[in-house]
Structure 1
């Protein structure tokens, strides 16, 4: 029995294809994780990213473990203007609205918000408490958004693979790629203000797409990811062209 699936090329093709799709569908999660974790004090950022990625893996595996519940999420709950609304739609609309509001708030805070200043000497206890509270807030936001980002990922996995172990393996492989990419992406965003603004614009785009999807206006993800990749490519060319010519604009580090 075991040799049967080991020698079955269709299973391995399904695993490779699904893993690649899971990586692509995890980009929005990774961008949000990089942005929000950079709000933490420098020593706590790696911990925040690890916990955030851990929640992402657990969320996806938990959703896969409850396939009947996932199927039930796409069943209509009520109808508005001839559009059947399911729990999936409600979650996507809520998550998309939160992303748009969060990205707008981050853009304002980075450009015109109140600057966060290091705690004065002798206030170490208060600073530690504030850092712990900030970490808890960041993890809570990541955990909530993980549910939203995981829905399409898991629904795609259920639609593409017959075997549960293939879905689980694809999720774990994609999560491994996210673990490797999280720190370099966060460092890139923190080092280049224009990349941070571009990443926040991506979150606005992703949030608007989630709201549109939840209200019945489906936009193929390929267009969204192509627009993101094209914009990022142009910005990388700009960074290379400007390298060493002038000091980049310094964004504010807004108060959490």
Structure 2
């Protein structure tokens, strides 16, 4: 009988162990969080993502922002090629991480140039701006998921619709209207190259009043866009 009471007390203690209880609930919360994140990413394969955290920040700061979502069918193909030429020339050849660019960045002691379009989409749509290890870890975790669930074309489409092209101007449609008075589907090759050229510093550069440095960068992007069209590196995001 004493042995039975001791066994029962032992089981009761195990059931009431706070560490085990916390671990069980932490695991359950983690599983639920993963399921929710996967579900949201899957939904955004077809549905327009909501206003991003950064857009909300800028809207509160400025009072209003310009933003108009358009599908890829209403974006000039040369705009997508210009974006890839400017930001991620090997976009069709990697699955979210450009290892060659990462190795180069490490050798140069800088992270500049190592971030792919897929990683930037994760940051812009689901995370926040700024440099810290938590954001980079989340970005690295979510990038393979987006690369698996979304098509390359969808990644480009979302990027072009959430990127900031000037202060308070988000998305290529708003940018095309803002800078050139045309729709995104009517952008010329030069206009597309200039829009892509402002992306590293949208608040400090102007596509309609380009500095000589921006003109030079846009000329390089123009050549790069033509090159990836010729050599097939645009095939993964074009019809």
TM-score class, shorter: under 0.3
The structure richer in helix per residue is: 1
After TM superposition, the score normalised by the length of structure 2 is 0.22
After TM superposition, the score normalised by the length of structure 1 is 0.21
Report the structure number with the largest CA radius of gyration: 2
